A and B are shown apart, each in its own frame.
Chain A
Amino acid sequence: MQGWLSIFIMLIVGLAFGGIMVGLGVLLGPSKPSPEKSAPYECGMPAVGDARERQSVKFYLVAMIFLLFDIEVAFLYPWAMALRDLGWPGFVQVVLFMGLLLTGYIYVWRKGALDWGADK
């Protein structure tokens, strides 16, 4: 239980700090609401349309491709850690692995999955 005390204090302090700051703002600050100020974001352009708009399906495609390549690259970390132990055989395997990924990348590219334009 001893170890949790500091976390508990941290939690109290954090909550209290947030509460006090918001409270001071409400109490001391002048309040003159206007439509512009009530907009979700006070800076930049006024919002156009609904935020729950449909995304282009391209978005999902790129997201999926990113997900795959991103995760595959995670294999490089353990290899880098064991680089010296694995030696040349390990290097050959990683090059083969990257070569396979590259084939996939070429495929995705040639198939036009990465084209992000309205020209098609």
Chain B
Amino acid sequence: MPSLNDYLVLSALLFAIGAGGVFMRRNLITILLSIEIMLNAVNLTFVAFGRALGTADGQIIVFFVMTVAAAEAAVGLAIVIALFRHRESLNPDTFKALKW
């Protein structure tokens, strides 16, 4: 039976993978996916803590996070499409109209 700590370590790893992906990947869609991985890592944390605390609250919170993630993904994809029309590329390095 895995303990709470195992779940927390796993979700921390997932979160780190997502955070690393945001910085290292060079495709906007992949970056969006990395952010989703981060959110899902948090979901795992919520469920694990909920289990440890003996409530179903964690799973209810996950519902909210999922909807937020979906809304975020929709807005993100919409911006990506709008951007692609201007740039014909999804590589963030080609976006140079603004200085970072």
Tally of contact residues, A, Cβ under 8 A: 12
Chain B residues touching A, majority SS: helix
Query: A72 and B74 in contact (CB under 8 A), knowing A57-B81, A60-B81, A78-B60?
Result: no
Query: A71 and B70 in contact (CB under 8 A), knowing A78-B60, A78-B63?
Result: yes
Closest to B78 in A: A64
A60 to B28, CA, bound (A): 15
| Residue B67 lies at the interface, judged by CB distance under 8 Å to chain A | yes
Q: Return B94 CB to nearest CB of chain A, in Å.
A: 18
Q: Return B22 CB to nearest CB of chain A, in Å.
A: 21
Closest to A67 in B: B70
Whether A75 pairs with B67 at a CB distance below 8 angstroms is: yes
| Residue A68 lies at the interface, judged by CB distance under 8 Å to chain B | yes
A65 to B73, CA, bound (A): 11
Whether A74 pairs with B74 at a CB distance below 8 angstroms is: no
Question: Which of the residues A68, A74, A75, A78 comes within 8 Å of B71, measured between beta carbons?
Answer: A68
Contacts of B67 in A (CB 8 A): 71-72, 74-75
For chains A and B in complex, what number of residue pairs have CB atoms within 8 angstroms? 27
A8 to B66, CA, bound (A): 34
Query: A74 and B77 in contact (CB under 8 A), knowing A67-B70, A68-B70, A68-B71?
Result: no
A64 to B60, CA, bound (A): 23
Interface residue ranges of B46-100 to A (CB < 8 Å): 60, 63, 66-67, 70-71, 73-74, 77-78, 81
Contacts of A68 in B (CB 8 A): 70-71, 74
Q: Return A53 CB to nearest CB of chain B, in Å.
A: 16
Interfacial residues, chain A to chain B (CB-CB below 8 A) = 57, 60, 64-65, 67-68, 70-72, 74-75, 78
Closest CB pairs A-B (n = 5): A71-B70, A64-B74, A71-B67, A67-B70, A68-B74
Q: List 8 A-B contacts (CB under 8 A).
A: A60-B77, A64-B73, A64-B74, A64-B78, A65-B74, A68-B74, A71-B67, A74-B66
